[in-house]
Each structure stands twice: as C-alpha cells, then as structure tokens.
Amino acid sequence: MDTDAARGCAANFLRFADAVEPQLSRAARTHRLTGFGGFDSARQLRCGFEHKGVELSRSLSDLRDAAVRMAEVYLLAGGLIEEADHLPVDALRALAQGIDG
C-alpha cells in the first residue's frame, strides 16, 4: 500500500478514536443515576438505565480500541512498521492527555 495513503487512512481512524472520547465521558455519567424515587419499580428502572450506560461505555471503548488497531493495520500495510509499533503507545499517551487535560 502507498505510504501516504496508509498514513491518511490511519489518521482517519485515529481521528475517529479521538472523537469517541467525549462520548465515553458522557456515557460514564450514566453509570450512577438519581431522581427515580424510592419505589421498587423505580429502582429497577434506574438499574436498567445504569446497566445500559455501562454497556454503552464498553461498546464505545471497544469501538475506540478497534479504530486504533485499524490505524495500526493500515500503517503496517504501508510498510510503516516503526510508526505502527509506536502507535499504541502514542495513542494511549494522547488518550491520557485528553483525560488529564
């Protein structure tokens, strides 16, 4: 694969992975909900929504991780082995900066 095309495809997947991060933050806010009242049915409803929030977070995290892996695959297809080797570390560092910053 042409190296410029490989870098371009990888960059698209990394942008996608970055775009998932804010959604992960929003989904995390649904893990503990309030305002449903004290009835058993309200508790069940709250637990159901919280479970859906946790599942959403898992799905978004898997989606982000898959996008980073796809970027790595495109770099490998372009023969950019050294860049691909550094990608997971660099992606994790960028994700950590997004969380900390």
pLDDT in tens, 30-58: 999 999 989 999 999 999 999 999 999 99
pLDDT at 93: 59
| 3-class DSSP state of 94 | helix
**Residue partners of 94: CB distance under 8 A and separation at least 6:** 18
Tell me which residues of the chain have a pLDDT lower than 50: 99-101
- pLDDT for the residue 101: 41
Report how far apart, in Å, the C-alpha atoms of 25 and of each of 4, 8, 21 are. Answer: 33, 27, 7
- Give Cβ neighbours of residue 13 (< 8 Å, ≥ 6 apart): 67, 68, 70, 71, 74
pLDDT of residue 81: 83
3-class SS at 42? Answer: helix
